């Protein structure tokens, strides 16, 4: 999607203000005061209606640590953003390869999602994200993590792909950078699936 022209951003700002109840629970009493800030955000972000996003649990079961945003053109696809200190970044933000620094912005209670993501950062199926959230709500964070991992890896599968082998060999000891022993792998896998 190309950057919006100034005229297009003005039209979008007018739409946001005239239908503000679709975008925010806050009352925008002085549109002129917030106009320049919103127009600036609209260069790189799109406004999200209240019905097109929801808060979710993190894999550590922390409430409101994820925001799930439906895609503009295909509501069956979503982008997931995780809280990092006081900001929300695309879930691919922390990946070593192909990280995505796209973020969310809030202005006047309106959520704005980044228009562009890195090439390898693809939207997720809403139904899968909902299954993961349901598992997290049940306290089954190990199973949710396994499902997340399986879905993230499914795009790069070879015909001989074994998700459990991939999962066990991807668990690394971050303090030494070494690969854990088979016994450590078995213990980690048992924790993940319990």
3-state secondary structure the chain: CCCCCHHHHHHHHHHHHHCHHHCCCCCCCCHHHHHHHHHHHCCCEEEECHHHEEEECCCCCCCCCEEEEECCCCCCEEEEEEEECCEEEEHHHHCCCCCCCCEEEEECCEEEEECCCCCCCCCEEHHHHHHHHHHHHCCCHHHHHHHHHHHHHHHHCCCCCCHHHHHHHHCCECCCCECCCHHHHHHHHHHHHC
CA dist., res. 4 & res. 60, Å (int) = 38
Q: Tokens 């190990």 map to which residue? A: 142
Place 100 in a pLDDT band, splitting at 50, 70 and 90. low
pLDDT of 23 > 60? The answer is yes
Domain locations along the chain: 124-193
Report how far apart, in Å, the C-alpha atoms of 169 and of each of 150, 156, 163, 166, 179 are: 14, 16, 10, 5, 8
What is this structure's pTM? 0.71
β-bridge partners, 80: 68
Q: Which of 7-21, 30-44, 97-111, 153-167 has the lowest mean pLDDT?
A: 153-167
Q: Is 35 a residue whose pLDDT tops 50?
A: yes
What is the average per-residue pLDDT within 99-124?
Answer: 80
Does 73 score more than 50 pLDDT?
Answer: yes
**Share of residues in the chain with pLDDT > 70 (%):** 69
Higher pLDDT, 94 or 162: 94
Quick one: pLDDT at residue 24? Answer: 95
- Token duo for residue 145: 């993590």
pLDDT value, residue 123: 82
pLDDT, residue 163, reads 39
Digit-coded pLDDT (tens) for 137-178:
999 988 998 888 776 555 444 444 443 333 333 333 333 444
pLDDT band at 44; cut points 50, 70, 90: confident
90 pLDDT more than 70: yes
CA atoms of 140 and 37, how far apart (whole Å): 41
Pairing type for strands 53-56 and 45-48 reads unpaired
Give how far the C-alpha of residue 157 lies from the chain's centroid of Cα atoms, to the nearest Å.
22
- Mean model confidence pLDDT for the chain: 76
């Amino acid at each position: 999607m190309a950057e919006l022209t100034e005229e297009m951003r003005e039209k979008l700002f007018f739409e946001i203000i005239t239908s503000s109840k679709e975008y925010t629970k806050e009352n925008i009493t002085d549109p002129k005061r917030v106009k320049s800030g919103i127009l600036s955000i609209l260069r790189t972000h799109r406004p999200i209606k209240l019905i097109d996003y929801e808060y979710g649990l993190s894999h550590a079961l922390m409430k409101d640590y994820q925001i799930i945003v439906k895609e503009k053109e295909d509501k069956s696809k979503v982008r997931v953003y995780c809280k990092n200190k006081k900001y929300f970044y695309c879930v691919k933000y922390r990946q070593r390869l192909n990280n995505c620094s796209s973020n969310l912005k809030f202005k006047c209670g309106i959520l704005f999602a980044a228009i562009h993501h890195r090439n390898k950062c693809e939207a997720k199926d809403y139904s899968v994200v909902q299954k993961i959230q349901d598992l997290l709500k049940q306290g089954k964070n190990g199973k949710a993590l396994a499902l997340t991992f399986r879905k993230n890896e499914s795009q790069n599968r070879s015909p001989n792909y074994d998700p459990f082998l991939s999962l066990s060999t991807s668990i690394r000891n971050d303090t030494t950078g070494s690969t854990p022993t088979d016994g450590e792998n078995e213990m980690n896998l048992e924790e993940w699936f319990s």
